[in-house]
């Protein structure tokens, strides 16, 4: 596997990346990118000059996964958005490699922190379907993963839950905010 910077010159990979967004998010986040056109719009936004857009390829040049980074707070913080790995290839270290690569890319650009939001729209965690305005930090401390929500993947990568946006996607459907320091103390 190799990781490259995706550019506008990679027409075939851009098409694959757009389809990957649709396929990867279909089961739990279908509204994210429900059509190829939605996926193409997102990939073209990822290719904007100030952003980071990286792609993992197999030995034949086929797309295994993509990751994007959006600068915030004058480049001190980078938002990880999005991360997608071919569904059949998940659990094989591709996502981990892409996240580590994004951290390196952001660090080289002066980034100190990576932040991300991981929606829970389908009762995948114990934070879904409950009143988060009551004892929020206790609920975060006791979070349980009910249906393979990606927050545990990010925790294994060193990310901490730094907040929650209650009702971000409708009543009882929060966005779990996570961050990791990548700069030196």
Its pTM surpasses 0.85: yes
Name the CATH topology of 115-185: Aminopeptidase (3.40.630)
The whole-number pLDDT of residue 27 equals 62
pLDDT mean by block of 10 residues, the chain; 185 residues = 96 95 73 85 95 97 97 97 94 97 97 96 94 96 95 97 96 97 88
- Architecture per CATH, 1-111: 3-Layer(aba) Sandwich (3.40)
**CB-CB contact of 149 with 120 (8 Å):** yes
- What confidence score (pLDDT) does residue 28 get? 55
135-157 pLDDT, tens per residue?
A: 999 999 999 999 999 999 999 99
**Cβ partners under 8 Å of residue 182, min gap 6:** 103, 106, 107, 111, 112, 113, 114
Look up tokens 């961050």; give the residue. 179
What is the distance between the alpha carbons of residues 154 and 109, in angstroms, rounded to a whole number?
22
Question: Domain limits of the chain?
Answer: 1-111, 115-185
Strand order in the sheet with 77-85: 2-5, 52-57, 63-72, 77-85, 113-119, 175-181, 160-165
Q: Are 84 and 25 in contact (CB under 8 A)?
A: yes
Domain 1-111 and domain 115-185 have a common topology: yes
Report how far residue 22's alpha carbon sits from residue 32's, in angstroms, rounded to the nearest whole number. Answer: 8
* Contact yes or no for 159/178 (Cβ under 8 A): yes
Task: Give 168's Cβ-side CA count (13 Å radius).
Answer: 16
Cα atoms in the 13 Å half-sphere on the side-chain side of 176: 29
């Amino acid at each position: 596997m190799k990781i490259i910077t995706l550019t506008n010159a990679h027409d075939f990979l851009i098409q694959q990346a757009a389809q990957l967004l649709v396929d990867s998010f279909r089961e739990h986040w279908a509204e994210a990118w429900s059509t190829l056109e939605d996926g193409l719009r997102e990939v073209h936004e990822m290719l904007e000059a100030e952003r980071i857009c990286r792609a993992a390829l197999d030995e034949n040049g086929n797309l295994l996964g993509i990751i994007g980074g959006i600068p915030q707070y004058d480049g001190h913080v980078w938002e990880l958005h999005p991360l997608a790995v071919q569904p059949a290839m998940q659990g094989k270290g591709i996502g981990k490699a892409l996240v580590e690569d994004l951290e390196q890319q952001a660090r080289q650009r002066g980034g100190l922190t990576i932040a991300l939001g991981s929606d829970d729209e389908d009762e995948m965690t114990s934070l879904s379907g409950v009143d988060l305005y009551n004892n929020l930090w206790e609920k975060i401390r006791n979070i349980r993963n009910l249906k393979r929500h990606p927050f545990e993947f990010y925790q294994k990568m060193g990310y901490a839950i730094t907040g929650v946006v209650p009702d971000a996607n409708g009543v009882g459907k929060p966005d779990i905010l996570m961050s990791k320091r990548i700069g030196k103390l």
